[in-house]
Structure 1
Amino acid sequence: MAARGWLESLQQAKKTAAVQEGKRKVHYLFPDGRELVEEYEVSNDQLTVRKWKQKNTLRSPGQWQFEVGEAFSRAVGGLEQQLIQESSSNPIFTRKDTISSFQWRIRNLPYPRKVYSATIDPAERCCIVRTSNKKYYKKFNIPDMDRCRLPLDCSALSFTHANNTLIITYQKPAEILRLEQEVLQELKKMKVTDDGDVDCKTQ
């Protein structure tokens, strides 16, 4: 099963972990040079951040690609802050999951709910959000489903709209829920300290 293969790749990666400010932070280094960082709320095991750094000479060093969470959530002042302010009226697309579902928020969408539609393209394995007034169009995949090679189910997709924010929800299938529990069990076996120092065993 593909989900088993993904779990094995996580198990084989070099891992370090720390608990800081109520969050469990885990860093993975894969044999091909890719890096993965995840952050979980200690109180409820909710994943809040997942970001990747690829080993790619075409990409600027130190550039993280956020799969879950927001790239600018920790930005403070300077040019970065100015850029955020300049684009504050544009739609902002982020993923913020719940325990039982994958969830995406698209802020700064002021149109009434009736103009939105959310559909699945099985051939391209992606979700498509569009408006009937042709003001917004977004196509995105679900990396978790792709890693486990699971088919997308149209009945699992839904959306709501409130406060200029469109919230798209995809209910996690049983295979994903089971995999996430197994990953958490593995992470909780790692020895960490509460001050952020990682307890590593060297060979």
Structure 2
Amino acid sequence: MAVQSWIDILRLSKKTALIHDGKRKIHYLFTDGKEMAEEYDLKTDELIVRKWRHKSTLGAHGQWQVEIGEPPAGSVTSSDADVIKENCSNPVFMRRDTKASFQWRIRNLPYPKDVFSVSVEASERCIIIKTSNKKYYKKFGVPDLDRCQLPLDSSALSFTHANNTLIVSYKKPKEILTLEQELLRELKKLKGTGEGDVDCKTQ
């Protein structure tokens, strides 16, 4: 699926918009039954959340899978306080893009920067993070590039480390920047209501 066909698929999808809480929320329903939900910051136009939901073979709605934004917190009750203490030191991987870059943040990685290596594995179309102390390993793709059939370019990749957080950035290629600008122009034309649902049928 090339850049053009992806923007066409987005255009052909059924979209509903909702302005709420300082965010522009867009719900997409694709012809194959998949759903995508996005949230943009109204002031900066930055994409804060993107998640997907697929129907099962029996037509039931699956769980939302977060592509961009905070991973959903597990429903934890107060009696699980000990469990929280134990788990909160585990690395937390999330994607949070900027206007110019795809960006991933991995919290709770208390190692010095020189322990990390971040590289592009072009043949597998993924980015690999590993540490020389063998404490962390992560392999992940860039769905935006896959959807537009764009190659991964190691020169677009960089990373920094501060406050126990590793931040991996991948500079968006110009094709993606153009696509995002075109899409945003179209989304701003959608008539979203101030509060409440626009079209309950697609929710």
Distance 2:80 2:198 in 1: 31
Shift of 1:91: 0.5
Judge conservation of contact 1:193–1:199 (CA < 8 Å) in 2. no
Q: How does 1:34-73 map to 2 (within 5 A)?
A: 34-57=34-57, 61-72=61-72
Q: 1:168: which partner in 2?
A: 168
Distance 2:199 2:32 in 1: 24
Contact 1:192–1:199 under 8 Å retained in 2:
no
Aligned residue for 2:88, secondary structure, equals coil
> Does the aligned pair in 2 maintain the 1:19–1:25 contact within 8 Å?
yes
- Cα distance in 2, alignment partners of residues 83 and 144 from structure 1: 35
Q: What percent identity do the matched residue pairs reach? A: 60
CA contact (8 A) 1:103 1:169 kept: yes
1:57 positional shift: 4.3
Q: Specify the alignment match of 1:25 in structure 2.
A: 25
Alignment partner, residue 12 of structure 2: 12
Q: Which consecutive residues of structure 1, in runs of 5 or more, have no partner in the other structure?
A: none
Q: Normalising to structure 2: TM-score of the pair?
A: 0.90
Aligned to 1:123: 123
Offset of residue 87 of structure 1: 1.7
Q: CA RMSD in A?
A: 2.5
How many residues align? The count is 200
| Contact 2:55/2:62, CA 8 A, preserved across alignment | no
Q: For residues 48 and 34 of structure 1, what CA distance do their matches in structure 2 show?
A: 20
Deviation, 1:194, is 1.5
**What is the match of residue 189 of structure 2?**
189
Q: Counterparts of 1:193 and 1:80 in 2: how far apart (Å)?
A: 39
The 1:34–1:80 alpha-carbon spacing in structure 2 relative to 1, beyond 3 Å, is: farther
- Whole-Å Cα distance in 2 between the matches of residues 81 and 103 of structure 1? 31
1:83–1:104 CA distance, 2 compared to 1 (3 A): farther
CA distance in 2, matches of 1:35, 1:103: 23
